[in-house]
Each structure stands twice: as C-alpha cells, then as structure tokens.
Amino acid sequence: MILLAIWTRPLWEDPVRDVIPDAVSDTFSSASDFVSEAIDNDFYFRQVADEATSFFQSFTDSETGTSYEQVETPELTTPEEQSFSVGNVEIGDTRGQVEEMYGEAKRQSENEYGVEWFTYHENYQNFMMVAYDEQDMVRGLFTNQDLLSSQQGIALGDSKSFVNETLGEPEEMIRNGWFNYKIESEGEYDVYHMDGTYATIFYDLHESEEVTAIQLIDEDMESAKSTLYTPGSEALKEGLEYQLFDLTNATRVKHELSILEWDEAVRETARKHSTDMAANQFFSHTNLEGQSPFDRMKEDDISFLSAGENLAYGQFSSVFAHQGLLNSEGHRENILHRDFSHLGIGVDFNESDQPFYTENFFNN
C-alpha cells in the first residue's frame, strides 16, 4: 500500500494540498518516516496527512554521544517582582545584571519584535534567550532548560494539569491596538497574562504533557507589533535561522545528545529551497523540478552518509516553529537523531511576510 501511495502520488497530491491549511510544517528524512503536520496562523497545530516510509535509509548506524563537559545548573531563587524568572532574571532587570551573572551573550540576532534575542549558554547548557529594549531593560525571556522559577512553584517537568490548577484558565486571545491573536494551541501551550507580561508555557506531548519551555514577553513589546507578520528583512531572516539552530542544540543537549555543527554550505541549500517555496507558492520536500532534499544537497556538492529535512511554514517565530516541530513525531526524530552531526537552516518570506523554514540535517 505504501508503494501504491508513492506511485500514485501525482494523482492525489494536489487534491490533498487543496485542503491543507495555509501554514504547514513537514519532515523528510533518510532515516525516519515522512510525516506532514499543519500549523495555522493562530499558532494551532494538527495532523492532516498520512505516513509513508522514506525513500532513503542511513548508510551508517554510529554511536554518537555527548562531546561536551557537563556544567552545573545555577541555584535558582524565587522571583521577587514577577511571577516567573529565568535563570534568576526577571522582566524589568537590566542587561548589566544579566551579564554580571552570565557574561557576554554568545549570539545576538533580530527577532519578530524588532529587537534582538541575546543568547546565553555554556555549550548549550543553561540555555536562555533575553530581549532588551533601548534602555537595556529585560523585556523578553525564553528557556527550554531547567532555569525556570516561579512564585507559584511551577518548574520545568511539571504537568499541564498542575499549571492549569495553579494559574487557572489560560488566555483565549492576545489583544493589542492593532489586531488580536486567537489562541488555539491544541494543548501544546498555554498563554497567561500576568504582571504586565505574556507567559507562554509550552508542553511536551511526547513526555506526558510536561512543561518543556517558557517564553515571557513584556505586554508593551507585544502590543508594539503593528502587523500580524513582521516585515521580512535580511536581518530577520538570519535571526530566525540562527535562533532555530540554537534552539535545536539546546534541545539536543537537554536529551544528552551531541551538539550539531553549523554548516554554511547546507544553509545555502536550505535557504534556496525556502526561497523557491515562498516565491513559487508551494510547500513540499520535492521542488518543482522533481528534486528531493538529497538531490538538492548532492547538486550543491554536499556529501553525507545520512540526512534529513524538516520544513515549517507560517509560524511567527523560531520559538513557535521549533516547539511545534518537536511535538511532531517525524520532525522530533530528525531533531533528536543521534547520528546527525551538522545542520544548516534557511528562511525566506513570501509576499505576505510569512516565513518558510527549511532545516537540513546530515552526517558525514
């Protein structure tokens, strides 16, 4: 039946795509299944397509372990002013306070709020991202590691039911002066508006709906957005690419896997595919010339023993794109594949400023 589905793909692919929502994520791997996931413009994730075996298999089955020294998690204290803190940093703290504790940022890159995420970590351990305003005050925080502390006793690893019992009903909509976000997360995250901050609490659907990450955004920074999608630019394109790369490595370290190396050549392969999809209004691992991800990598002289590709479309940020991909089985397999050693990510925008994300993983 799988072979029949593959052979007859030209007959059913276009009709199926007609019913797929506008924003989608997809995965293709030489070592895992082909899975399609849909993600619409309200941050909302649901499965819409069938599974079929991948066309290619990995040529190797190596044992890849961690390649970094474990570091200790800082001792966390209960936040004083806000309900939540990340690594003992609260919304309203200063950049000086943050860097007194953590030193200089490893990277800074533009985000969808028109400011930059400053990334702090030690070999992707104790990973967090911090956004500052023009006065160097903390206005945004993110972590997917054990750096969360709260006045209510919520921490990473707690259950969704405990969060809901403790904080009550989450928000159904984010309101500002320009537009509203309707929140229909299908259980993947909850948003709470408290202390002048929007707290988005993400859950891992593969780990009993436990808290796996948190993003804190100052309400003034959220309300300053004047469009649904931030206008695309070269700075934002690069920012989303590097943020997705850092988020992937922080997740791998959390699962005691090796850190992936950024590959500039495959980044160009990935970006060309994102540009192609955005410009020509299609969403598929197979481009309009019939090339698979592996064909495109080989055409760009990228040698690999195993490779995989994740696609996503329409998510406002790399944070939401990554967390959505992580909750999809096929994408998660690529993100947490023990044999992959390199990753390049390419992003581009269509005429509506919706971002297309392509992740190309490989091992050589």
Using one digit for the tens of pLDDT, what is the confidence trace for 19-35? 333 344 566 654 333 33
Among 214, 237, 236, smallest CA distance to 225 is for 236
Q: What's the confidence (pLDDT) of residue 58?
A: 46
- Lowest average pLDDT, out of 11-15, 150-154, 254-258, goes to 11-15
Q: Is the pTM of this model over 0.75?
A: yes
Task: Answer yes or no: are the C-beta atoms of 340 and 265 closer than 8 Å.
Answer: no
Write the pLDDT tens digit of every residue in 92-126.
999 999 999 999 999 999 999 999 999 999 999 99
Write the pLDDT tens digit of every residue in 63-103.
555 667 888 889 999 999 999 999 999 999 999 999 999 99
Q: What's the confidence (pLDDT) of residue 225?
A: 86
Write the pLDDT tens digit of every residue in 293-320.
999 999 999 999 999 999 999 898 999 9
Residue 351 and residue 332: Cα distance in Å, rounded?
Answer: 29
Evaluate whether the domain defined by 251-363 bears CATH number 3.40.33.10.
Answer: yes
Domains of the chain, residue spans: 84-226, 251-363
Identical topology for domains 84-226 and 251-363: yes
Structure tokens at 41: 């413009």
Residue 220 and residue 140: Cα distance in Å, rounded?
Answer: 11
Among 219, 218, 211, smallest CA distance to 190 is for 211
Among 254, 258, 255, smallest CA distance to 126 is for 254
Whole-number average pLDDT of the chain: 85
Q: What architecture (CATH level 2) is domain 84-226?
A: 3-Layer(aba) Sandwich (3.40)
